[in-house]
Amino acid sequence: MSEPTQFRSESVTQMDKKLNKQKRSRRIFLQSGATLLLSVLVPKLSYAAQILAVRVWPAEEYTRVTLEGDVELNATQFIVKDPLRMVVDIEGLELNSTLKEIIAKIQSNDPYIKQVRVGQNRPNVVRLVFDLKEEINPQVFTLKPVGEYKYRLVFDLYPVNPVDPIAALIEKGQWLQDAPVATLGDESQQTMQPQPQLQAPQLQAPQAQAMPQPKLNPNPEQPLQTAPDLKNVPQLTRMITIALDPGHGGEDPGAIGRGGSREKDVVLSIAKRLKAKIETQPNMRVFLTRDADFFVPLNVRVEKARKVQADLFMSIHADAFIESSARGSSVFALSDKGASSTAARWLANKENSADLIGGVNIKNHDKQLASVLLDLSTTAQISDSLKLGSAILNEIGGINRLHKGSVEQAGFAVLKAPDIPSVLIETAFISNPEEEAKLTDENYQNQMADAILKGINRYFAKKPPLAKNRLT
């Protein structure tokens, strides 16, 4: 009996489907084989990195060159003499217009770089040649994406013979020697001459009796009143050294206001104004951890203050918060028992992340942290920091609203100098449009500098610094 037509049609259809499936399988197999063969015979083309930005930060301490790319860059470098230059080869890179901008970004007053030449050395390798002004010790490292930055290749060009900070200030005429100790024992020299009125307190050695000041005789025809007998009483007047630390700088802009104001610029301007005012004081001198737009790691800021044997350390900032309504000035001191508030802890964490934004060489940084940022701060140091902070906060309250009426505490890395009273001053919220306008106003900057100086004088009036042996 013959098979029904309907069943024969279904069988044919099923056979066609099987055949089509087999054909597709063979075609996929052949295509895969061809692809495999091509991958073996034809070299795989590598992706060329793209340079997104080039930045150069010249400073007396070191010059930083940053190349920002869309992928991590691999570079090798070597120094060549006669003439002195640094040669850098960057792999996986094709020369583009952005990278060529580095030529115009080298300034004539750069302390270490004369000029730079750039070219395609060979396929996928770009060569940069830095003509140098003096022998350098380069540090080259890469940074992972953070904040607004992608991958960064960083060249820090340090001088082989770095300048001592005190020697540099002496050379600039900004460092006066401490007044010598005077022992008064000769009665023939006890006639006192009138002294100018000091705006800052007269400093005395420990356990020394206060020297009575003579009253000036309004009658010029009569001799001046002499001081009582002060045999064998030592009297010392020494210079107070203030270290000012403008926060952020260079690769790290700090907080940015809605109007585009950058924290690093605002606080540097305030610090320079405060520096000028401190220098008018007869027994004070001042040192800036940075005096231009360049990045200084947190531990280096502490090291600098200790090298100049500072009596006080003040880090100056301009706060920011996610809510633009936040406003007011604040003063912070170190805490060894946890933060005094959630806001203080949040701010300390934010400020302590500055090294990630600014970019530090992790290998060197870890070694420096081990020697400098140990939690060695004493109870006395924190106690003095709180007194200093309170004196400054009271004065700042006269020119701006206070975010909180007392000095707050948290684990700020930049305040961990174990032997220096240290505070961090948030001058205002740059994220608040009204306070951003204040921070960029010269009058407000001067008022803030005046208030901080008054706070310093108020602190020393109650707690004159003891004489100390100057380190050599």
pLDDT score for 24: 66
The answer to whether residue 223 scores a pLDDT higher than 50 is no
pLDDT tens profile 341-378: 998 999 999 999 999 999 998 776 555 444 444 445 57
Give pLDDT, residue 374: 45
Q: Is the pLDDT of residue 295 over 90?
A: yes
Q: Is the pLDDT of residue 314 over 90?
A: yes
What's the pLDDT score for residue 221? 46
The mean pLDDT value of the chain amounts to 81
Are the C-beta atoms of residues 302 and 373 closer than 8 Å to each other?
A: yes
> At which residue do the structure tokens 């585009």 appear?
260
Q: What share of the chain is helix, strand, coil (3-state, %, to 5)?
A: 35, 25, 40
Long-range interactions of 163-172: CB distance < 8 A, separation 24+: 163/60, 164/307, 165/287, 165/304, 165/307, 165/308, 166/307, 166/308, 168/60, 169/285, 169/287, 169/308
Please report, for residues 19, 26, 40, 44, the alpha-carbon distance to residue 31 in angstroms, rounded to integers and kept in the order given: 18, 9, 14, 18
Confidence of residue 15 (pLDDT cuts 50, 70, 90): low
Are residues 410 and 335 in contact, defined by beta-carbon separation less than 8 angstroms? yes
Q: How far apart are CA 90 and CA 54, in angstroms?
A: 14
- As a whole number of angstroms, the distance between CA 63 and CA 136 comes to 10
**pLDDT at res. 169:** 83
Q: pLDDT digits over 79-110, tens only?
A: 999 999 999 999 999 999 999 999 999 999 99
pLDDT at 430 over 90: yes
Whether the CB-CB separation of 149 and 358 falls below 8 Å is answered with no
pLDDT of 403 strictly over 50? yes
Which tens digit of pLDDT belongs to each residue from 373-385? 444 557 889 999 9
Q: How many whole angstroms from its chain centre is CA 297? A: 5
Give the pLDDT confidence score for residue 22 in this predicted structure.
Answer: 64
pLDDT at 158 over 70: yes
pTM comes to 0.77
Task: Check residue 217 and give its pLDDT.
Answer: 44
Structure confidence at residue 338 (pLDDT)? 83
pLDDT attached to residue 13 = 58
Domains with residue ranges and CATH for the chain: 51-159 (2.60.40.3500), 165-173+239-462 (3.40.630.40)
Give 18's pLDDT tier (boundaries 50, 70, 90): low
Is residue 268 pLDDT above 70, yes or no? yes
pLDDT at 464 over 90: no
Reported as a single tens digit per residue, the pLDDT across 228-260 is 443 444 445 688 999 999 999 999 999 999 999
